[in-house]
Amino acid sequence: MFYPNWLCWAFFTEGWGLFFSEEPFNLTVLFSSALLWQYLVGGVSVTGLLWSALWVVAVRRYLAGGLCTSTARLTGQTVVITGANVGIGKETARDLLRRGAHVILACRSFSKAEEARRSLLGEGGKVEVRLLDLSSLQSVRDFAAGLVKDNIKVHILINNAGVFMCPYMETQEGFEMQMGTNHLGHFLLTNLLLPQMKQHGEPARIINVSSTACLGGKIDLDDLFQKKKPYDALQSYSNSKLANVLFTRRLAHLLRGTKIQVFALHPGSVVSSATRHVMSSTFFKDYVISLALKTTLEGAQTTVYCATEAQQHSEMYFSDCAVGWAPDASKDERLAEDLWKLSAQLVKLDEEKHPPCKSVLDVNAKDAFHRHHVQAGGCVYVRHVTRAIAIFSRSLHPNWLCWAFFTEGWGLFFSEELYNLSVLFSAALLWQYLVGGVSVTGVLWSALWVVAVRRYLAGGLCTSTARLTGQTVVITGANVGIGKETARDLLRRGAHVILACRSLPKAEEARRSLLGEGGKVEVRLLDLSSLQSVRDFAAGLVKDNIKVHILINNAGALMLISLVMTLKYRSSSTTQVR
Q: What's the rounded Cα separation, in Å, for the pair 395 and 557? A: 19
Q: Is residue 565 part of a domain?
A: no
Q: What is the per-residue pLDDT across 124-180, written as a single tens digit (0 to 9) for each?
A: 999 999 999 999 999 999 999 999 999 999 999 999 999 988 999 999 999 999 999
Q: Is residue 26 part of a domain?
A: yes
Select the more confidently predicted residue: 317 or 400. 317
Q: What local confidence, expressed as pLDDT, does residue 285 receive?
A: 59
Q: Is residue 299 part of a domain?
A: yes
Average pLDDT over residues 79-99: 96
Q: Is residue 319 part of a domain?
A: yes
Select the more confidently predicted residue: 556 or 558. 556
User: Is 261 found in the same domain as 161?
Assistant: yes
Q: Is residue 386 part of a domain?
A: no
User: Is 249 found in the same domain as 167?
Assistant: yes
Q: Is residue 393 part of a domain?
A: no
User: Is 38 found in the same domain as 104?
Assistant: no
Residue pair 10/69 in contact (Cβ under 8 Å)? The answer is yes
Q: Is 397 exposed, middle or buried (0-12, 13-18, 19+ CB in 10 A)?
A: exposed
pLDDT of 374 over the 50 cut = no
Q: What is the per-residue pLDDT across 229-288, written as a single tens digit (0 to 9) for each?
A: 999 999 999 999 999 999 999 999 999 999 999 999 999 888 765 555 455 556 555 667
Q: What is the per-residue pLDDT across 21-55, written as a single tens digit (0 to 9) for each?
A: 999 999 999 999 888 888 888 777 888 889 889 99
pLDDT of 118 over the 60 cut = yes
Q: What local confidence, expressed as pLDDT, does residue 577 receive?
A: 33
pLDDT of 568 over the 50 cut = no
Q: Is residue 368 part of a domain?
A: no
User: Is 28 found in the same domain as 158?
Assistant: no
User: Is 161 found in the same domain as 126?
Assistant: yes
Residue pair 234/163 in contact (Cβ under 8 Å)? The answer is no
* Domain region containing 49: 5-63
The residues annotated with a catalytic role in the active site are 237
Contacts (Cβ under 8 Å, ≥6 apart) of 318 = 263, 264, 265, 266, 302, 305, 306, 310, 324
Say how many domains are in the chain.
4
Q: What local confidence, expressed as pLDDT, does residue 12 receive?
A: 78
Among 109-118, 346-355, 441-450, which range has the highest average pLDDT? 109-118
Cα angle: 93, vertex 94, 96; to 5 degrees: 65
pLDDT of 357 over the 70 cut = no
Strand order across the beta sheet in which 156-159 lies: 126-131, 102-107, 78-82, 156-159, 204-209, 260-266, 318-319, 322-323
Q: What's the rounded Cα separation, in Å, for the pair 284 and 294? A: 15
Q: What local confidence, expressed as pLDDT, does residue 300 receive?
A: 96
Q: What's the rounded Cα separation, in Å, for the pair 48 and 433? A: 10
Which CATH number goes with the domain that contains 502? 3.40.50.720
Q: What's the rounded Cα separation, in Å, for the pair 486 and 552? A: 9
Q: What local confidence, expressed as pLDDT, does residue 156 receive?
A: 98
Q: What is the per-residue pLDDT across 180-196, written as a single tens digit (0 to 9) for each?
A: 999 999 999 999 999 99
Q: Is 96 left (phi over 0), alpha (psi -120 to 50) or beta?
A: alpha
What angle do the packed helices 233-254 and 333-346 form, to 10 degrees? Answer: 100
Residue pair 497/490 in contact (Cβ under 8 Å)? The answer is yes
Q: What residue ranges in 477-516 does DSSP mark as E strands?
A: 496-501
> Of 92-106, 195-209, 314-328, which range is least confident?
314-328
3-state secondary structure of 300: coil
Residue 309's φ and ψ, nearest 5 degrees, are -130, -10
Mode of pairing for the β-strands spanning 322-323 and 318-319 = antiparallel
User: Is 228 found in the same domain as 88?
Assistant: yes
User: Is 37 found in the same domain as 88?
Assistant: no
Give CA 293 to chain center in angstroms: 14
Q: How many residues does the chain have?
A: 578
Average pLDDT over residues 63-84: 94
User: Is 189 found in the same domain as 135?
Assistant: yes
Q: What is the per-residue pLDDT across 463-472, written as a single tens digit (0 to 9) for each?
A: 889 999 999 9
Q: What DSSP assignment string belongs to 393-436?
A: HHT---GGGSHHHHHS-HHHHHHH-HHHHHHHHHHHHHHHHHHT
Average pLDDT over residues 96-111: 96
Q: What does pLDDT average to over the chain?
A: 84
Q: What local confidence, expressed as pLDDT, does residue 557 receive?
A: 83
User: Is 339 found in the same domain as 315?
Assistant: yes
Q: What's the rounded Cα separation, in Å, for the pair 210 and 244? A: 6
